[in-house]
Amino acid sequence: MAGIEISPRIKLAAKREGMDATKVRVGAHEIGGDRVVVIAGPCSVESREQLFEVASAVKEAGAHMIRGGAFKPRTLPYSFQGLEEEGLKILAEARDLTGLPVVTEVVAPGDVGLVESYADVLQIGARNMQNYPLLKRVGEAEKPVLLKRALSATIEEWLGAAEYILAGGNANVILCERGIRTFGKLTRFTLDLAAVPLLKEVTHLPVVVDPSHGTGHRQLVAPMARAAIAAGADGLIIEVHNEPEKAKSDGAQSLRPAGFVSLMEGIRPVAEAVGRRI
Amino acid sequence: MAGIEISPRIKLAAKREGMDATKVRVGAHEIGGDRVVVIAGPCSVESREQLFEVASAVKEAGAHMIRGGAFKPRTLPYSFQGLEEEGLKILAEARDLTGLPVVTEVVAPGDVGLVESYADVLQIGARNMQNYPLLKRVGEAEKPVLLKRALSATIEEWLGAAEYILAGGNANVILCERGIRTFGKLTRFTLDLAAVPLLKEVTHLPVVVDPSHGTGHRQLVAPMARAAIAAGADGLIIEVHNEPEKAKSDGAQSLRPAGFVSLMEGIRPVAEAVGRRI
Amino acid sequence: MAGIEISPRIKLAAKREGMDATKVRVGAHEIGGDRVVVIAGPCSVESREQLFEVASAVKEAGAHMIRGGAFKPRTLPYSFQGLEEEGLKILAEARDLTGLPVVTEVVAPGDVGLVESYADVLQIGARNMQNYPLLKRVGEAEKPVLLKRALSATIEEWLGAAEYILAGGNANVILCERGIRTFGKLTRFTLDLAAVPLLKEVTHLPVVVDPSHGTGHRQLVAPMARAAIAAGADGLIIEVHNEPEKAKSDGAQSLRPAGFVSLMEGIRPVAEAVGRRI
Amino acid sequence: MAGIEISPRIKLAAKREGMDATKVRVGAHEIGGDRVVVIAGPCSVESREQLFEVASAVKEAGAHMIRGGAFKPRTLPYSFQGLEEEGLKILAEARDLTGLPVVTEVVAPGDVGLVESYADVLQIGARNMQNYPLLKRVGEAEKPVLLKRALSATIEEWLGAAEYILAGGNANVILCERGIRTFGKLTRFTLDLAAVPLLKEVTHLPVVVDPSHGTGHRQLVAPMARAAIAAGADGLIIEVHNEPEKAKSDGAQSLRPAGFVSLMEGIRPVAEAVGRRI
């Protein structure tokens, strides 16, 4: 591993010789094993009808888990802030309907218990990656945590954030690369795919990739999903909406259900080409 | 103002024609008025002795307020996390001793009441700039809020964060430029001083500058403090430590008391040169 | 193509409806066709023995073209600056030996004739992407041009540079993504793979990827090569050295011949998975 | 200088103990001495009338040198490329008219002799900072060189570029900070003013600042000019146009003559406040 060294103060998240990679179990699935796991759904839970339609569609296309936000961190207070507990209930119903586990974001320490009572995986969003009271609180949770990289976090700061959760006693941390902020103007963020093999060198934690936020354009999601798997990602998280042009958030980067079917078809042979399966 | 336009959805933070600049009153001082306000103190409150020594020194040198962290957001869980309530008590005692108002950081919505009971200004750190539950909570506080810019926040995202606090009913928001993350390697961050005159074009809120975090090197603090005032800043926030080589955090960027005396001497003529005073 | 628009002033490089993708012919190969083209060789031509050994090895492993620098743009004047014309001669001999066409960099307008007399493809390096006199001169050359992206060039600036070459009359331009400069510290640059599908939306020119410079670490080259192909790249340019620890430049990112064999084995199934071949 | 170390391989540009700061003499002026030198003029030389009008105006306002581009590096080949030798002649006439020395850009090694025959200072633009054949050529020139920082150059890369000129035998190098590329959207670049005091720690070369390119907005030029001087800059280079709305390049960031008069008035007291004069 000449040339790629991280701080020796990162203890629990660091890979040590002879160590097995961490596999995070979620329902019937394992993130970090042979199978590449696909999490799909809308940016925001907007209504029962919307979520059920999308959840059924992504299940049919082969997704393994549902995503959808009930608590939405938005740049302005006047934007749709999410359905909150009502949204969590709809997510839980969608899980009952489809059998797919639910991944959803939590934004405040005081909400962790509530979100955990409905969700299967707690998502920490990019803007909260260094919200340490929140990290400490999910460190005490029973459910796995999907930890998104902050917009300008170095790899070591990101692993430092994981360290808070691990040190709190929660061993089930999934890292999620979702694009970093650079000077680029034509994409929303710059998806740092080299972070995937780099993380495989320095940490035992599984890594998933979000090509929806990472690019901001529907057209770029499927090629970057294929690239993520080829680079060694353990999973994908993909935004899908039944009517992207009416979405309350992130419409431009959301696939339609047909686009998601096509994405799934495209990633299967790539997964096999790198010795994995979907 | 041709060429510098911000989103029309930023309502409360935006400058409108004929509007007066906001002046935030803190004790006997006003941030945003003729006088450039200087806030100084250690990164972390480490002990009663340390804080008292630094507070007395900065007062004598002419500082208007004390800074010091009791809740510290640190990259790793193993680093000193602050003295918490004990630190707040020491800060309040230092205020009694010196007569200087206290600026200190709050990192969790549940701590706002506690911090507010000791502090005069609530600081939101860079890593929490988009911690919206925290912004909403300080929007309900009685005390002014010093809102630091996130490491990779655009001007509009920063004003969006201010908008949350203003929309919550707290009109006393002070913006603080503290450096952005760029490719630079010899400085800790890149201090974006052009943000100061730019903000003066688009918002009525006062702007202070943190050249300590913004550069990461003691040697660069005084020249950048002078530059900040020349660019139109309404205040400075400066790290000072009695023994920087023993500091629990940020030692390399902390001035010694003698360095702070010299900084104060250097900024006075610059303030006068731009029609202000210290 | 909603959402991805480039300046209408980019005329010759822009994709227009119904237009075929440009295929650049180099010897027996075509860049931009079904076959993914692999260019491999050392950063610098250091000696006849070194280049012949590497060229033979990469040929045997299946590379389609040789790379190697004779004119080296180095950060300091005291670093090895390349063998210049002697290096070009060695490259031409290596072509005779292996039958593989030669890609090499040209750094001054006055050298274009010389380099063209030996090379099959003229490389414009990242640091010269906006060296307009050089671009104008290679626009008049007979040989194809591989145009690397500057360290902080936007997509539009890069296409603007291509436009200079196309406007000069040279239709054979190959774009090369080689990593952009960001705040990242553990990799040398950030490989912007999303540029590949994005370019496929906006230009007809072929795109190759350089995962060696893009990451700076030998361990990351093979996974990012696979990812580049999965993202739709038309080719790869890979640094290979017989003794990387003794290389005069870029040793840490150079594969050994055995590593290159393994890279070639790894990319074949990925190319097939996306409907192409090596 | 604890904490700010540059590569020991940077020899000629590095400051060594006991060394005097370099003063570059241009006509009657010295860059790097007590006096802060102001260079002003249009982005491009567009016509004799335009340049004479601007040159007379900036002279009257107190500028020490004229700037104006005859060879323009433009993003697209269809943009105005400069008047070339005709522009150089007009610049020389403007010098005769005003007595002010001329600073102008050279973009190709083959043009250095020509440009040198008309100009007093050779400017190397940001896009050519790592055009090493050009740096080597101006290293042999008789005239001083103003070396702009590349859009994403680290301090060490910039000093490496200076090292090429110094190693070539030309001791008269002036560094020019003109803004770096970051994620910021409301300004054209991010003016890295901390580079000024940082350079003063590590190099003996004088440093000037370009707040016109550095911000891209006329409104921000005067405050950032004041800030640059307060930070310790040895000079300013400012774009001024008689009719910015009709400028062939950079109109939005060009001051009108009246704006330049006001800038000059504003910087005088700041220069005095830091112990210098204009």
A8 found inside a domain:
no
Residues of C in contact with A228 (CB under 8 A): 227
Task: List the end-to-end C-alpha distance of chain B, in Å, as a whole number.
Answer: 29
8 Å CB contact of B160 and A108: no
Q: Say how far apart CA A214 and CA C278 lie, in whole Å.
A: 28
A264 found inside a domain:
yes
φ/ψ of A72, rounded to 5, equals: -110, 120
Contact B166, B160 (CB under 8 A): no
Does C183 contact B at CB distance below 8 Å? yes
8 Å CB contact of A154 and C192: no
C-alpha closest to that of C178 among C228, C223, C222: C228
Does C226 contact A at CB distance below 8 Å? yes
Name the domain count of chain C.
1
- For the CA atoms of D29, D30, D35, D41, what is the dihedral angle to 10 degrees? 60
Provide the H-helix boundaries in B62-84: none
Angle at D228 between CA D225 and CA D229, to 5 degrees: 95
8 Å CB contact of A217 and C198: yes
Three-class SS state of B203: strand
Output the tens digit of pLDDT for each of chain B's 278 residues. Answer: 357 999 999 999 999 988 899 999 999 999 999 999 999 999 999 999 999 999 999 999 999 999 999 999 999 999 999 999 999 999 999 999 999 999 999 999 999 999 999 999 999 999 999 999 999 999 999 999 999 999 999 999 999 999 999 999 999 999 999 999 999 999 999 999 999 999 999 999 999 999 999 999 999 999 999 999 999 999 999 999 999 999 998 889 999 999 999 999 999 999 999 999 99
| CATH code, domain carrying A240 | 3.20.20.70
Looking at chain C, which residue has its C-alpha nearest residue B182?
A: C183
Q: Say how far apart CA D140 and CA D133 lie, in whole Å.
A: 11
A6 found inside a domain:
no
Paired sense of beta strands D65-67 and D121-124, if any: unpaired
C-alpha closest to that of A59 among A250, A269, A240: A240
* DSSP tag of D252: G
D18 found inside a domain:
no
Does A78 contact D at CB distance below 8 Å? no
Contact D56, D97 (CB under 8 A): yes
8 Å CB contact of A184 and C229: no
Q: Which residues contact D209 (CB under 8 A, 6 or more apart)?
A: D176, D177, D178, D191, D193, D196, D224, D225, D228, D231, D233, D235, D236, D237
D14 found inside a domain:
no
CA distance C187 to chain B (A): 12
Q: Which residues contact B77 (CB under 8 A, 6 or more apart)?
A: A136, A160, A163, A164, A167, A168
Q: Say how far apart CA C212 and CA C217 lie, in whole Å.
A: 7
Per-residue buried b or exposed e for A78-101, using 16+ beta carbons within 10 Å of the residue's own CB: eeebbbeeebbebbbbbbeebebb
Q: Say how far apart CA A260 and CA A241 lie, in whole Å.
A: 10
Contact C71, C91 (CB under 8 A): no
C-alpha closest to that of C130 among D57, D274, B264, D76: D76
CA distance B131 to chain A (A): 6
- Name all chains with 3 or more CB-CB pairs below 8 Å to chain D: A, B, C
Q: Would you state the pLDDT for residue B105?
A: 98
Mutation site, C151, C158, C226, interface A, largest A CB count within 10 A: C226
- Name all chains with 3 or more CB-CB pairs below 8 Å to chain A: B, C, D
Output the tens digit of pLDDT for each of chain C's 278 residues. Answer: 357 999 999 999 999 988 899 999 999 999 999 999 999 999 999 999 999 999 999 999 999 999 999 999 999 999 999 999 999 999 999 999 999 999 999 999 999 999 999 999 999 999 999 999 999 999 999 999 999 999 999 999 999 999 999 999 999 999 999 999 999 999 999 999 999 999 999 999 999 999 999 999 999 999 999 999 999 999 999 999 999 999 998 889 999 999 999 999 999 999 999 999 99
- Using CB atoms, pick whichever of D10, D131, D163 lies closest to residue C128: D131
Question: Which residue's entry shows tokens 């553990």?
Answer: C186
8 Å CB contact of A130 and B133: no
Burial of D171 (C-beta count, 10 Å sphere; 0-12/13-18/19+): middle
Does D186 contact A at CB distance below 8 Å? no
Q: What is the average pLDDT score of chain D? A: 97
Q: Would you state the pLDDT for residue B1?
A: 39
Q: Would you state the pLDDT for residue B272?
A: 98
8 Å CB contact of D130 and C9: no
A20 found inside a domain:
no
Amino acid of residue D172: N
C-alpha closest to that of B251 among D195, D3, A157: D3
- Using CB atoms, pick whichever of C194, C224, C269 lies closest to residue A224: C194
Does B272 contact D at CB distance below 8 Å? yes
Residues of B in contact with A163 (CB under 8 A): 76-77
Does A186 contact C at CB distance below 8 Å? yes
- Using CB atoms, pick whichever of D185, D214, D252 lies closest to residue B3: D252
The interface residues of chain C toward chain A in range 196-215, judged by CB-CB distance below 8 A, are 196-198, 201, 214-215
Does C193 contact A at CB distance below 8 Å? yes
Q: Which residues, in sequence order, are bridge partners of residue D25?
A: D30
8 Å CB contact of B226 and D231: yes
Q: Would you state the pLDDT for residue A1?
A: 38
Mutation site, B151, B180, B181, B183, interface C, largest C CB count within 10 A: B183
The interface residues of chain B toward chain D in range 153-172, judged by CB-CB distance below 8 A, are 154-156
- For the segment A202-217, the average pLDDT, to the nearest whole number, is 98
φ/ψ of A203, rounded to 5, equals: -135, 155
Residues of B in contact with C182 (CB under 8 A): 183
Three-state SS sequence of chain C: CCCCCCCCCCCCCECCCCCCCCCEEECCEEECCCECEEEEECCECCCHHHHHHHHHHHHHHCCCEEECECCCCCCCCCCCCCCCHHHHHHHHHHHHHHCCCEEEECCCHHHHHHHHHHCCEEEECHHHCCCHHHHHHHHCCCCCEEEECCCCCCHHHHHHHHHHHHHCCCCCEEEEECCECCCCCCCCCECCCCHHHHHHHHECCCEEECHHHHHCCHHHHHHHHHHHHHHCCCEEEEEECCCHHHCCCCHHHCECHHHHHHHHHHHHHHHHHCCCEC
φ/ψ of A18, rounded to 5, equals: 80, 0
φ/ψ of D154, rounded to 5, equals: -75, 165
8 Å CB contact of C167 and D77: yes
For residue C59, the tally of other CB atoms under 10 A from its CB is: 18
Looking at chain B, which residue has its C-alpha nearest residue A7?
A: B76
C147 found inside a domain:
yes
Contact D39, D63 (CB under 8 A): yes
Q: Say how far apart CA C28 and CA C21 lie, in whole Å.
A: 18
Looking at chain C, which residue has its C-alpha nearest residue D139?
A: C77
Looking at chain C, which residue has its C-alpha nearest residue A211?
A: C194
Provide the H-helix boundaries in A106-249: 112-118, 132-139, 155-167, 195-202, 211-215, 218-231
Looking at chain A, which residue has its C-alpha nearest residue B152?
A: A152
Question: Cα dist. A34→A31, A62, A209 in Å?
Answer: 8, 16, 16
Three-class SS state of A198: helix
For residue D159, give the H/E element and its range: helix D155-167
Q: pLDDT tens, D164-222?
A: 999 999 999 999 999 999 999 999 999 999 999 999 999 999 999 999 999 999 999 99
Q: Which residues contact A66 (CB under 8 A, 6 or more apart)?
A: A39, A40, A41, A51, A55, A58, A59, A91, A94, A95, A98, A100, A101, A102, A103
8 Å CB contact of B181 and C181: no
φ/ψ of D238, rounded to 5, equals: -130, 135
* DSSP tag of A151: T
8 Å CB contact of A270 and C230: yes
C-alpha closest to that of A72 among A106, A97, A49: A106
C-alpha closest to that of B275 among B223, B238, B237, B234: B234
Looking at chain D, which residue has its C-alpha nearest residue A190?
A: D183
Domain range for residue B227?
Answer: 24-73+80-273
Q: pLDDT tens, A161-196?
A: 999 999 999 999 999 999 999 999 999 999 999 999
- For the segment A43-48, the average pLDDT, to the nearest whole number, is 97
Question: Cα dist. A86→A83, A115, A193 in Å?
Answer: 5, 11, 35
C-alpha closest to that of D170 among D100, D121, D219: D121
8 Å CB contact of C110 and D110: yes
Given pLDDT bands bounded at 50, 70 and 90, which one contains residue A2? low
B188 found inside a domain:
yes
Q: Say how far apart CA C60 and CA C67 lie, in whole Å.
A: 15
Residues of C in contact with D109 (CB under 8 A): 108-110
Question: Residue A140 has which token pair?
Answer: 């005490």
Residue spans of chain D under pLDDT 50 = 1
Does B114 contact A at CB distance below 8 Å? no
Residues of D in contact with A150 (CB under 8 A): none
